[in-house]
């Protein structure tokens, strides 16, 4: 690869936690392919082509095959951690790195040929990973090393990883006969291929709707201007910068319903068929591996341990929230009745944002459109950077000439102030465009890890859809989107500050029902006056956000927290039910299940014609683990209670960084929480945060 940043010159190896550098062979690369990168170089995204994407996937697979061959050729008596476990782990990490690059490209590149090539390359990598994970000779090599005296004396991260990899192998079917393992291999490949296409369909479906002047009544002027056509009509899409304000302010209920259904039918009906097949294959996989349902299989190796714990958590929380939920719902109904002039009994899904906005305005005197004026995106980013740099003792430096996949993308290096060492590199892709991932998420690229050459830097990107500035107005963010940005940047920092020896345990490589906690904790900062005073200033006058407005915002924080949490319970319950013995039949489709669970869980009735399941991307990525959003929030709020006295405390921030973030997935998540808290965790802070 020819693109090299001077800020990524190799530096002296840093010893961490007493670990020594791995002695596994360090791969030396000479390829000019922009994806095949040397030690601590970055991907030359600007120079990508469909051809070199295919070439790169072939290269990474061949390197992994060479690693497998080295491991399998060893005599069992000669096995060491370095020549068996570390060699295999490095090959896995490099394959993950390639797959991560392809995920970024397929989610964000404006070039269709590149997106298509990345999708195909992702499948190639996935197929090989499935094969590698079911390679009996590699399993036997790992088991042989595990029986050695050296393995029995392992401690810390290496011991944890050895146990983890053996568990993964056995969960992948090594109790099965060879023919059943072949069946499992085919199932895994099919699930991955279908999941890739499921996500791609969501990204590439960009529906629009033409509305009249009367249907735009109440919609903010900036949205009207951005969507107005030459004939005076308005062309609405479902990207967040358009959809969120439209649903929050449009007075015409029928127009809101039409736009809601537009959103709920993204990737329909094609993803309905894909999801049905994914569910069938998951059920088959679970049965093959000796589990009653896929939910049993998925929870067995994570924090919850079993599906009963999940159902108990969801149901108990629903019961605790019931009084608050009913009170909040009544407030929305009263507002709707007052507006329509008749007694209303139902809040529809397309009413929720509108009447919630009205509640904030009328009861709490919080004008969301006014609030946006104090959250200009670049000011928010400056404040975000100030917070993270202060509490984690870091410095972010912008690269003024980055190699990126789109001109809007910015790039930054991360330096640890204590050591003055570079530890990572990240990208910000902030604005919506056609054929781009439609939500906000962190995409890890390279894992921080220890190699024979030195400390390998982390890299990651945020792919978001915040309002793009225009010639007349900068990007102004609803406060909820400020919260989203702080959340996603929490994931990114989790990747940046990892200090694990092994890439497979680095950063966000933690159990699924804990992975959100290190980002959820950061949402608390956007509700703190001391923090908001750093960056919440009027985009025209520079005036800091008035204290009285902040008071009103903070007072309104839990206005509908019960209903919002109930919505998360619905998402988690739906996802879990799909994978807990649900069978599709002529009488029972996935859409029918959405209707049943939505009507029995939430107070917002299902709208005929909606196909939410087709554009809920978490159904493939999480697969019966979406409940983890609420599960991990319990731990996030408990950990934030340590910060509560001073959210900008560098001392507390450093302790959180070292005891939780830096550890990645190198220990059980519950141990990380206990070590930070200095006690057993509980749900008191979580319930208090909901206003209970």
What does the pLDDT look like over 307-341, one tens digit per residue? 999 999 999 999 999 999 999 999 999 999 999 99
What number is the average pLDDT over the span 218-222?
94
Q: So what's the pLDDT on residue 644?
A: 81
Instruction: State the Cα–Cα distance between residues 276 and 29, nearest whole angstrom.
Output: 43
Q: Which two tokens stand for residue 74?
A: 């060893």
Domain with CATH 1.10.1370.10 in the chain: 270-372+564-626
Average pLDDT of the residues in 209-230: 96
For residue 7, the model assigns a pLDDT of 29
Collapsing DSSP to helix, strand or coil, 398 comes out as: strand
At 417 the pLDDT is: 98
Q: Are 494 and 508 in contact (CB under 8 A)?
A: yes
Dihedral, 332, 334, 335, 340 alpha carbons, nearest 10: 120
Contacts with 314 (C-beta within 8 Å, 6 or more apart), sequence order? 569, 572, 573, 576, 627, 630
Would the CA dihedral through 283, 285, 291, 295 be positive or negative?
negative
pLDDT class of 31 with cuts at 50, 70, 90: low
pLDDT tens string 413-429: 999 999 999 999 999 99
Catalytic residue among 63, 328, 331, 488: 488
- Name the more confident of 27 and 84: 84
CATH number of 270-372+564-626: 1.10.1370.10
Q: What is the pLDDT of residues 619-669, one digit of tens each?
A: 998 899 999 999 999 999 999 999 988 999 999 999 999 999 999 999 999
Mean pLDDT of 539-558: 94
- The CATH number of domain 6-133+135-171 is 1.10.150.120: no
Q: Is the pLDDT of residue 22 over 80?
A: no
Average pLDDT over residues 189-200: 94
Q: Is residue 488 among the annotated active site residues? A: yes
d(CA 618, CA 439): 11
Nearest to 492 by CA among 394, 431, 419, 425: 425
pLDDT in tens, 96-151: 999 999 999 999 999 999 999 999 999 999 999 999 998 999 999 999 999 999 99
Domain with CATH 1.20.1050.40 in the chain: 6-133+135-171
Q: Above pLDDT 70, what percent of the chain?
A: 96
pLDDT, greater one: 684 or 585: 684
Rg (Cα) of the chain, in Å, rounded? 25
Given this model, what pLDDT does residue 594 score?
A: 97
What is residue 415's predicted lDDT score, i.e. its pLDDT?
98
Please give, one letter per residue, the 3-state secondary structure of 284-315: HHHHHCCCCCHHHHHHCCCCCCCHHHHHHHHH
Residue-wise pLDDT for 273-297, tens only, equals: 999 999 999 999 999 999 999 999 9
Q: What is the pLDDT of residue 32?
A: 83
- In the block, residue with structure tokens 């969501």: 202
Residue 173 pLDDT exceeds 90: no
Per-residue pLDDT tens for 567-606? Answer: 999 999 999 999 999 999 888 899 999 999 999 999 999 9
Where residue 19 falls among pLDDT bands split at 50, 70, 90? very low
């Amino acid at each position: 690869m020819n693109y090299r940043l001077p800020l990524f010159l190799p530096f002296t190896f840093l010893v961490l936690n007493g670990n020594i550098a791995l002695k596994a062979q360090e791969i030396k690369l000479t390829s000019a392919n922009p994806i095949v990168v040397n030690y601590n170089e970055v991907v030359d995204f600007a120079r990508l082509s469909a051809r070199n994407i295919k070439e790169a996937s072939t290269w990474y697979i061949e390197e992994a095959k060479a690693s497998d061959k080295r491991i399998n050729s060893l005599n069992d008596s000669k096995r060491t951690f370095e020549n068996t476990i570390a060699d295999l782990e490095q090959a896995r990490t490099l394959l993950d790195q390639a797959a991560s690059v392809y995920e970024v490209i397929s989610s964000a590149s404006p070039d269709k040929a590149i997106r298509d090539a990345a999708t195909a390359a992702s499948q190639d990598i996935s197929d090989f990973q499935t094969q590698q994970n079911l390679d009996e000779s590699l399993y036997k090599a790992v088991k042989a090393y595990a029986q050695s005296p050296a393995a029995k004396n392992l401690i810390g991260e290496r011991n944890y990883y050895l146990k983890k990899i053996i568990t993964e192998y056995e969960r992948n079917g090594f109790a099965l006969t060879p023919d059943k393992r072949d069946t499992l291999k085919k199932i895994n490949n099919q699930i991955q291929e279908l999941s890739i296409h499921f996500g791609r369909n969501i990204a590439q479906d960009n529906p629009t709707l033409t509305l009249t002047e009367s249907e735009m009544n109440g919609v903010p002027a900036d949205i009207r201007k951005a969507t107005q056509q030459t004939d005076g009509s308005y062309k609405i899409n479902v990207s967040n910068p358009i959809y969120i304000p439209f649903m929050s302010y449009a007075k015409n209920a029928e127009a809101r319903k039409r736009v809601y259904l537009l959103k709920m039918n993204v990737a329909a009906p094609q993803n309905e068929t894909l999801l049905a097949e994914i569910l069938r294959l998951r059920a088959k996989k679970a049965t093959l591996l000796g589990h009653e349902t896929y939910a049993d299989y998925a929870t067995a190796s994570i924090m919850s341990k079993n599906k009963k714990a999940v159902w108990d958590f969801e149901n108990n929380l629903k019961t605790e929230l019931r009084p608050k939920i009913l009170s909040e719902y009544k407030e929305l109904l009263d507002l709707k009745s007052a507006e329509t002039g008749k007694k209303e009994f139902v809040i529809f899904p397309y009413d929720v944002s509108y009447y919630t906005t009205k509640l904030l305005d009328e009861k709490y005197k919080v004008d969301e459109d006014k609030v946006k004026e104090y959250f200009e995106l670049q000011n928010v980013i400056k404040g975000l950077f100030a917070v993270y740099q202060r509490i984690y003792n870091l410095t972010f430096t912008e690269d003024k000439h980055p190699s990126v996949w789109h001109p809007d993308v910015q790039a930054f290096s991360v330096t640890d102030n204590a050591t003055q060492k570079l530890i990572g590199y990240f990208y910000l892709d902030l604005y919506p465009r056609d054929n781009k991932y439609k939500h906000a998420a962190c995409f890890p690229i390279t894992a921080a890890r220890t190699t024979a050459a030195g400390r390998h830097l982390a890299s990651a990107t945020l792919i978001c859809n915040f309002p793009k500035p225009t010639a007349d107005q900068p990007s102004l963010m609803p406060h909820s989107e400020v919260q989203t940005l702080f959340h996603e940047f929490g994931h990114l920092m989790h990747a940046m500050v990892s200090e694990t020896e092994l890439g497979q345990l680095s950063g966000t490589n933690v159990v699924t029902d804990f992975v959100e906690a290190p980002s959820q904790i950061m949402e608390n900062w956007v509700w703190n006056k001391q923090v908001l005073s750093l960056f919440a200033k009027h985009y025209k006058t520079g005036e800091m956000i008035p204290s009285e407005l902040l008071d009103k915002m903070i007072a309104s924080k839990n206005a509908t927290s019960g209903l919002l949490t109930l919505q998360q319970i619905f998402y988690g319950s739906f996802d879990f039910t799909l994978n807990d013995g649900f069978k599709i039949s002529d009488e029972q489709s996935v859409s029918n299940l959405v209707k049943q669970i939505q009507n029995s869980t939430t107070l917002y009735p299902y709208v005929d014609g909606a196909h939410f399941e087709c554009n809920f991307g978490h159904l493939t990525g999480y697969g019966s683990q979406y409940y983890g959003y609420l599960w991990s929030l319990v731990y996030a709020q408990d950990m934030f209670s340590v910060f509560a006295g001073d959210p900008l405390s560098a001392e507390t921030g450093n302790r959180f960084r070292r005891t939780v973030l830096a550890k990645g997935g190198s220990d059980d998540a519950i141990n990380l929480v206990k070590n930070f808290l200095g006690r057993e965790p509980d749900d008191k802070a979580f319930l208090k945060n909901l206003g209970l």
